[in-house]
Every structure is written in structure tokens, then in C-alpha cells.
């Protein structure tokens, strides 16, 4: 049997920050984290605030290097590589941030926001056509290209941010709390959009969230972080049906929005 390397292989990753704590101690944001993400997975990284979720996603994106351990992408170590060596990786792995307003330059028109990564990565396409295509894939009108991000609602801005991430035709989308800055009424729409894009474009998704209800809706597997430790991982089904750790049970108990998300999915108003 031939073995295809995992999309991500995280081996013994620790990240120690030389601190900002009052007592001058260093902070172990991640401790000896090991897991892998297979092709086509939708994996959730969950945990309370400060558990290390964003730090771990920065390691996956090779924006920072682990203090020890390695992150590999399709069998090749990405930790500590130069930007030149990461060029192909930078195209294949894209990110959607929590707050679309701060991640989208307010001085740029939507056309340029979507074209910028294509130019940076030297992807040769008919820009106008690609921008139209990208806007259509996030259900935005072509005319949006001429406007600025601040002229749109929060949900529409997150659609634009998602379109920008899709531009380079990535294999992987890493989304760090992509709906938590949005109004509850538009969250379900953005989550449904993400879920159909993942399916239509065969994307592997890494979804960072502290909201278990959302995770259940969207993800096939779950990694649970607690104060920098990986305390549980498994399929979404297994983690929800029989969580092994008390901490996971607490997270599940603190997820009051399952019904709200379902309801919004059924009757959710279309945003303006
Ligand atoms: N650049 C940094 N310098 C120093 N400490 C940091 C840095 N980044 C993160 N930390 C610390 O590492 C720990 C994990 O932070 P991280 O942002 O990864 O948590 P998180 O799970 O994403 O939290 P949240 O849900 O609030 O976004 C925290 O204690 C944080 O203060
Ligand atoms: Mg975070």
C-alpha cells in the first residue's frame, strides 16, 4: 500500500514565548503537540481563550517557527524554511482571519484586494475575469469589485476575505475564528458558504474556534487544546458522543448555540 503523506504532520511542536507575564516567566503557548491533518479533512482546533489555538495556526502557516518540533506539509518540513523555499506552500495554504475589516486594506478596491495575492504569487490569469469568478463563488455581485471593503457589511467583508483566500486556488484553508466577529444572524450564512466551498473546491479546512456548536456543524475531526496541551482528539462524532476529558465535557456544556445555529440555517435572513 502506498502511503500519501498527510497534508499537515505536526510532530512534538512546542512554542515558548519569552514573556510578557508580570512575574517575568516565559509562556508555553504550546507543549509537545502531535497530530496530523489528512487530505480533505475539516479539522477543528478548539479550546478556551489563551489555549494556543492561534499560535498553532501560525505554526501551520509557517508564519512562526516552533521552539522545538516540526510542522510538515505533504511530507516536507516547513518550519524554519525561507520565504523563497515556501513559495509553493504560500500558494497552497491560505488563511481567513477573524476580523475582515482589519485584514482587508481599507484603501484598496475589492478588485485589488482580490488581485493582490495573485500578483504577489505571480499567478498568471486574466485578473478581471478571475475577480468576477471569485466574487461569484462567494455569492457577491461583480460590481463589488469597484468598491472598498468598508462599504460592505461585516458578513460581506468576510465573503470578500474568503474570496481573496480562494484566489490562489489553495489546497488548504485555515480559518481562525472566521465568524466570531460577525453578527449572529449572518454567522450561519458564512458557515454554510464555507462548507459548500470546502466541498466544491475539495479544500482541506483547519477551523479554529471556541464554539463547539459551530464545530459540530462544519468539522469532521477535532483537536482540543487546554493551556497549550493537546488534551483530546478524534472524529467530531466521537468527541461529541463520548468526550474522554472533563475539559472537553465543559466545552461541550458551554455550547448553547447549537439550536440557534440550526434555526438561523433554516430561516436565516439574507444580509443587506
Ligand atoms: N507573540 C506572543 N508573545 C507572547 N505571548 C504570546 C504571544 N502569542 C501568544 N502568546 C501567549 O500564548 C498563549 C496562547 O495564545 P493564543 O493567542 O494562541 O491563544 P488562543 O487560543 O488563540 O486564544 P483566543 O481564543 O483568545 O484567540 C497565551 O497565553 C498568549 O498570551
Ligand atoms: Mg486566537
Q: Which of 15, 16, 29 to mutate to test the pocket of ligand 1 (most atoms within 8 A of CB)?
A: 29
How is the chain split into domains, by residue range? 8-267
Q: Which atom of ligand 1 is nearest to the CA of 58?
A: 18
Which residues line ligand 1 at a C-beta cut-off of 6 Å? 17, 20, 27, 29, 47, 49-55, 210
Q: Determine contact, residues 220/234, Cβ cutoff 8 Å.
A: no
Phi, psi dihedral angles at 46 (to 5 degrees): -120, 160
**What average pLDDT does this structure show over 27-36?**
96
CA of 32 to the centre of ligand 1 (A): 16
Q: Which atom of ligand 1 is nearest to the CA of 15?
A: 12
8-267 is a CATH 3.40.50.300 domain: yes
The protein residue whose alpha carbon is closest to atom 12 in ligand 1 is 29
Which pLDDT belongs to residue 20? 65
Q: What is the pLDDT of residues 174-227, one digit of tens each?
A: 999 999 889 888 999 999 999 999 999 999 999 999 888 889 989 999 999 999
Amino acid at each position: 500500500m502506498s502511503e500519501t503523506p498527510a497534508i499537515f504532520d505536526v510532530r512534538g511542536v512546542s512554542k515558548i514565548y519569552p514573556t510578557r507575564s508580570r512575574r517575568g516567566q516565559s509562556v508555553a503557548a504550546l507543549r509537545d503537540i502531535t497530530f496530523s491533518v489528512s487530505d480533505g479533512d475539516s479539522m477543528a482546533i478548539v479550546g478556551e481563550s489563551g489555549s494556543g489555538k492561534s499560535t498553532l495556526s501560525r505554526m501551520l502557516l509557517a508564519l512562526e517557527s516552533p521552539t522545538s518540533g516540526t510542522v510538515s506539509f505533504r511530507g516536507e518540513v516547513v518550519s524554519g524554511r525561507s520565504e523563497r523555499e515556501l513559495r509553493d506552500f504560500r500558494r497552497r495554504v491560505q488563511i481567513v482571519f477573524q476580523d475582515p475589516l482589519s485584514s482587508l486594506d481599507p484603501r484598496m478596491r475589492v478588485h485589488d484586494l482580490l488581485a493582490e495575492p495573485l500578483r504577489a504569487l505571480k499567478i498568471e490569469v486574466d485578473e478581471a475575469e478571475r475577480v468576477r469568478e471569485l466574487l461569484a463563488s462567494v455569492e457577491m455581485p461583480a460590481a463589488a469589485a469597484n468598491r472598498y471593503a468598508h462599504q460592505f457589511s461585516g458578513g460581506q467583508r468576510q465573503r470578500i476575505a474568503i474570496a481573496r483566500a480562494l484566489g490562489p486556488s489553495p489546497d488548504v484553508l485555515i480559518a481562525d475564528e472566521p465568524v466570531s466577529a460577525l453578527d449572529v444572524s449572518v454567522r450561519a450564512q458564512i458557515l454554510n458558504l464555507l462548507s459548500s466551498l470546502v466541498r466544491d473546491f475539495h479544500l482541506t479546512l483547519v477551523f479554529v474556534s471556541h464554539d463547539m456548536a459551530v464545530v459540530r456543524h462544519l468539522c469532521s475531526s477535532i483537536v482540543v487544546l487546554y493551556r497549550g496541551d493537546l488534551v483530546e482528539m478524534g472524529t467530531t462524532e466521537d468527541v461529541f458522543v463520548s468526550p474522554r476529558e472533563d475539559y472537553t465535557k465543559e466545552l461541550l456544556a458551554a455550547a448553547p448555540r447549537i439550536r440557534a445555529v440550526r434555526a438561523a440555517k433554516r430561516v436565516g435572513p439574507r444580509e443587506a
